[in-house]
Chain A
């Protein structure tokens, strides 16, 4: 079992729709959770972080965390063609000297078509 799992997609949604991206993780001790966006040929860019159960909203993006189910999701409202990219879920397992040691999923390819 992979430590962080994502559906590789591709996920295709029409412009203006809600895109829903999902991620599960295996380590119950995980404390910090991140969503990165990566355009083709570019480096990952942080778009959301979430640390406690529930929802966190930032503009068109909402991250959801359920530690009991070991599940993280990202919702993108009013999807735009410019949102087409690979979305990477990343999990940080512990504090202290492991700050920044992230385990990434394989990424979900999102395509938003006009």
Chain B
């Protein structure tokens, strides 16, 4: 069990550019979640997958955001046409099926200049 792995740890981009983040969950964990956290706030739910199916997506997630989990293993989160308001820590978490306990990765810190 190597934990939830996220890549990259840090990403600096210019406004208008596209960025993609990767998350590798704990093996055997069927559920995978993306959260976003800004300074001084708790994490905010974005979306989650059970295996390869995206079962829920926050209404706060604009159409510039897309997430995939091909083959039910790793997941990617893409942000198109980044805006300064997208600057945040993007956290990935996984959990075993039917267990609500989430295990978080170290996150990807995005800075949009």
A residues apposed to B, CB below 8 Å: 4, 8, 32, 34, 42-46, 49, 88-90, 92, 97-107
Q: 1/0 per residue B64-86: CB within 8 Å of A?
A: 00000000000000000000000
Q: Which of B44, B48, B105, B106 contacts A100 (CB 8 A)?
A: B48
A51 to chain B, nearest CB (A): 9
Decide: B102 and A100 in contact? CB cutoff 8 A. Answer: yes
Bound CA–CA A103/B107 (angstroms): 18
Closest to A4 in B: B42
Contact B107 A90, beta carbon cutoff 8 Å:
no
Which residues on A sit within 8 Å (CB–CB) of B44? 104
B106 proximity list for chain A (CB < 8 A): 42-43
Which of the residues A42, A43, A101, A105 comes within 8 Å of B45, measured between beta carbons? A101
In this complex, which of A4, A44, A90, A98 has the most chain B Cβ atoms within 10 angstroms of its Cβ?
A44
With contacts A43-B107, A104-B42 taken as known, whether A97 is within 8 angstroms of B55 at the C-beta atoms is: yes
